[in-house]
């Protein structure tokens, strides 16, 4: 006896679609359109109104563009591949141990640590005068730091390392959650009984089933790796830099005519990402047909076990590197002097925490406002979306693959930010919306919403439908069922989704920079700005704070639902 309210089946879904179209798809299309116009030489503000290929020609004439594109493709592809392989190896070896909460607890610090903070820590760790070199100095007999390019190296290896450390935990989490939907133990037992090694079963039986579930997140990681700005500024090559950094330099060049080739470059960036997706899909096809032939040969793959252990060992090393990088940040933030080759600071101070320069508290407040605003917005939209799905008739928890709606939700993560944010900024300025908190909250929500959906949709769809049915039988309407039954039952996933949303918002760099018109300074924009300054200690204070904020959110997310339940029990 379900009562159908006016805003029942279709209403919520329609609302969510409207918000999706008007809030995400349309603005992105408009931003791309503005960028494309400028790329074709039309930007009335700087007196450019003759369409033509001039901007593209100027872009192509830039010294080092070829190398810049090459290093972009290399770092993006290599970091994605490495992160994927390592995550798969860890999942294969340890998925039993990492079920449920354990994985979340172990991976949370890495998921929450903003890219910029991790990069700043790694830059010190890896530098020729950094922590690792200092530890090696007595053994290698280095009196002075060796003259080697261990960060900002021309091939982008340090950038790849940073990206892998940050993306591997994300892919691992996605994979573990996908594995939760498969009868992994049965597959393994069956495989073993036929004499197949663990590696072989994973590669041939389990991964092909996991792949469709993780394809979209892998594409997100790939797009991110190809277009990352903040990490590339700190760890990437400098002469020439990756394409995204080259474009940021052009977008902010004193010569305003550079905006035209910069826009053409933004389209090139977009083309690179789309081409990479194309290659990925072709590879998938090839693997599918080649895989069948390979399966038929019946290789038992006992040797795969050693490779699996090797890859897992490498993954663990990277986890340790990431942790040590963050520890070094903490140490620098309380150091007075920490010269080469001392392993620990030679003088200590808390002065930079007490007075870290003007603007810290404001930046903290702005960061919190943006994170809270965009997360609430994204959560509300996600709940509306999923509840609309329920009311329209549940597609079932085993739903596979990505429908158009899902692609639309992920679109902001699949396109390079620089391709549409500049155009969008011009558009927002015309509407008088730029530079305000609202514009930046919305821009953050573009990127927060997809992650909230990733975190929330699976537990939501897996919720036992009998709960809601029982409530309906007791006479509860759809709204009451939502408020009194579903949301409390989903308190844990909701708070985890909120924590992820907060972390994503805190780490945003380009959207804050472009849409905030420089008036909104967050811990991230300030930390990145300071990272090109001379005072590592102050940078460390900001970056540590930038990392601590999302950690607090995750901590709260893991503890709150338990507390709430206890509170309820007493009532």
Partner 1 sequence: MRDVFPRRRAFAFAASLRAMAAAGALALAGAGGAVAESRSWDDIRAAARGQTVYWNAWAGDPRTNAFIAEVGQETARLYGVDIEHVRLRDTAEAVTRVLSERAAGRDAGGSVDLIWINGPNFLSMKEQGLLFGPFVEALPNARYLDLSPGAPATLDFTVPVEGMESPWRLARFVFMHDSARVSAPPESMAAFVDWAAANPGRMTHPDPANFMGATFLKQALLELAPDLPALLAPVTDAAFDAATAPLWDWYDALRPNLWRGGRAFPENESVQQQLLADGEVDIAMAFDPAAAAAGIARGTLPESVRVFVPRGGTIGNMSFVAIPYNAASPEAAMVVANHLLAPQTQARMQDIEVLGAFSVLDPSRLDAAGREAFAALPQAPALPRLEDLGPTLPEPHPSWMTRLTEEWARRHTR
For partner 1, the binding residues (CB under 8 A) are 43-47, 49, 63-64, 67, 127-129, 144-145, 147-149, 152-154, 237-240, 249, 251-256, 259, 336-337, 339-341, 347, 357-359, 425-426, 429-432, 434-435, 517-519, 521, 525-526, 528-530, 532-538
Shortest Cβ distance from residue 534 to partner 1 (Å)? 4
Shorter beta-carbon distance to partner 1: residue 152 or 242: 152
Shortest Cβ distance from residue 253 to partner 1 (Å)? 6
Shortest Cβ distance from residue 504 to partner 1 (Å)? 22
- Reference 261, options 487, 55, 110; nearest CA is 55
Shortest Cβ distance from residue 315 to partner 1 (Å)? 29
Shortest Cβ distance from residue 241 to partner 1 (Å)? 9
CA 169 to chain centre: 10
How would you class 529 by CB atoms within 10 Å of its CB: exposed for 0-12, middle for 13-18, buried for 19 or more? middle
Shortest Cβ distance from residue 257 to partner 1 (Å)? 10
How would you class 221 by CB atoms within 10 Å of its CB: exposed for 0-12, middle for 13-18, buried for 19 or more? buried
Rounded distance, CA 432 to CA 259, Å?
Answer: 21
Shortest Cβ distance from residue 122 to partner 1 (Å)? 15
Q: Would you call the peptide bond into 153 cis, given omega within 30 degrees of 0 as the criterion?
A: no
Q: String of b and e for 124-159 (b: at least 16 CB within 10 Å)? A: bbbbbbbbebbeebeeeebeebeeeebbbbeebbbb
Rounded distance, CA 260 to CA 327, Å?
Answer: 42
Shorter beta-carbon distance to partner 1: residue 26 or 45: 45
Residue 545, token pair as written in the block:
């704070």
Q: At what angle do helices 207-227 and 404-414 cross, to 10 degrees?
A: 40
**In terms of DSSP bridges, do strands 347-348 and 335-337 run parallel, antiparallel, or are they unpaired?**
antiparallel
Shorter beta-carbon distance to partner 1: residue 82 or 335: 335
Rounded distance, CA 182 to CA 178, Å?
Answer: 7
Give the chain's length.
571
Shortest Cβ distance from residue 358 to partner 1 (Å)? 4
Tokens 């909230």, residue located? 452
Q: Would you call the peptide bond into 493 cis, given omega within 30 degrees of 0 as the criterion?
A: no
Shorter beta-carbon distance to partner 1: residue 217 or 241: 241
Shorter beta-carbon distance to partner 1: residue 8 or 64: 64
Shorter beta-carbon distance to partner 1: residue 66 or 465: 66
Shorter beta-carbon distance to partner 1: residue 240 or 478: 240
Shorter beta-carbon distance to partner 1: residue 403 or 518: 518
């Amino acid at each position: 006896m379900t009562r159908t309210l006016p805003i029942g089946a279709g209403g919520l879904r329609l609302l969510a679609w409207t918000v999706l179209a008007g809030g995400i798809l349309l603005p992105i299309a408009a931003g791309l359109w503005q960028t494309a116009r400028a790329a074709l030489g039309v930007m009335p503000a700087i007196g450019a109104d003759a369409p033509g290929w001039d901007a593209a020609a100027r872009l192509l004439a830039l010294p080092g563009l070829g190398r810049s594109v090459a290093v972009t493709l290399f770092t993006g592809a290599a970091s994605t591949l490495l992160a994927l392989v390592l995550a798969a190896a860890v999942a294969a070896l340890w998925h039993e141990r990492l079920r449920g909460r354990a994985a979340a607890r172990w991976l949370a610090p890495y998921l929450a640590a903003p890219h910029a903070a991790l990069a700043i820590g790694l830059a010190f760790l890896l530098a020729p005068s950094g922590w690792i070199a200092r530890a090696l100095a007595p053994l290698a007999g280095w009196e002075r730091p060796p003259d080697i390019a261990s960060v900002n190296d021309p091939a982008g290896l340090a950038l790849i390392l940073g990206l892998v450390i940050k993306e591997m935990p994300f892919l691992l989490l996605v994979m573990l959650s996908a594995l939760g939907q498969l009868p992994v133990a049965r597959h393994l037992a069956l495989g073993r009984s036929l004499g197949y090694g663990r590696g072989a079963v994973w590669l041939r039986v389990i991964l092909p089933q996991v792949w469709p579930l993780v394809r979209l997140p892998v594409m997100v990681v790939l797009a991110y790796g190809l277009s990352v700005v903040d990490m590339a500024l700190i760890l990437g090559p400098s002469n020439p830099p990756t394409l995204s950094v080259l474009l940021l330099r052009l977008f902010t060049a004193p010569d305003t005519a550079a905006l035209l080739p910069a826009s053409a470059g933004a389209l090139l960036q977009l083309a690179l990402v789309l081409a990479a997706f194309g290659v990925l899909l072709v590879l998938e096809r090839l693997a599918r047909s080649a895989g069948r032939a390979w399966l038929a040969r019946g290789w038992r793959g006992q040797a795969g076990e050693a490779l699996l252990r090797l890859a897992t060992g490498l993954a663990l090393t990277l986890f340790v590197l990431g942790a040590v990088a963050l520890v070094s940040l903490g140490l620098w933030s309380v150091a007075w002097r920490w010269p080469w080759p001392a392993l620990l600071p030679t003088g200590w101070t808390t002065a930079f925490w007490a007075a870290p320069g003007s603007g810290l508290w404001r930046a903290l407040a702005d960061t919190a406002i943006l994170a809270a605003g965009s997360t609430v917005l994204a959560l509300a939209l996600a709940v509306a979306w999923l509840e609309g799905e329920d009311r329209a008739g549940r597609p079932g928890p085993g739903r596979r693959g990505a429908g158009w709606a899902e692609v639309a939700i992920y679109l902001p993560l699949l396109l390079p930010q620089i391709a549409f944010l500049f155009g969008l900024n011009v558009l927002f300025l015309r509407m008088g919306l730029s530079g305000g908190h609202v514009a930046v909250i919305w821009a953050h929500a573009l990127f927060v919403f997809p992650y909230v959906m990733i975190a929330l949709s699976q537990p939501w769809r897996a919720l036992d439908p009998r709960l809601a049915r029982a409530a309906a039988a007791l006479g509860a309407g759809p709204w009451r069922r939502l408020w009194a039954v579903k949301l409390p039952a989903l308190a844990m996933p909701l708070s985890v989704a909120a924590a992820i949303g907060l972390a994503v918002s805190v780490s945003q760099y380009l959207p804050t920079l472009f849409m905030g018109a420089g008036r909104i300074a967050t811990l991230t924009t300030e930390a990145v700005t300071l990272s090109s300054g001379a005072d590592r200690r102050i940078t460390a204070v900001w970056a540590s704070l930038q990392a601590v904020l999302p950690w607090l959110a995750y901590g709260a997310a893991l503890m709150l639902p338990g507390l709430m339940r206890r509170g309820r029990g007493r009532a």
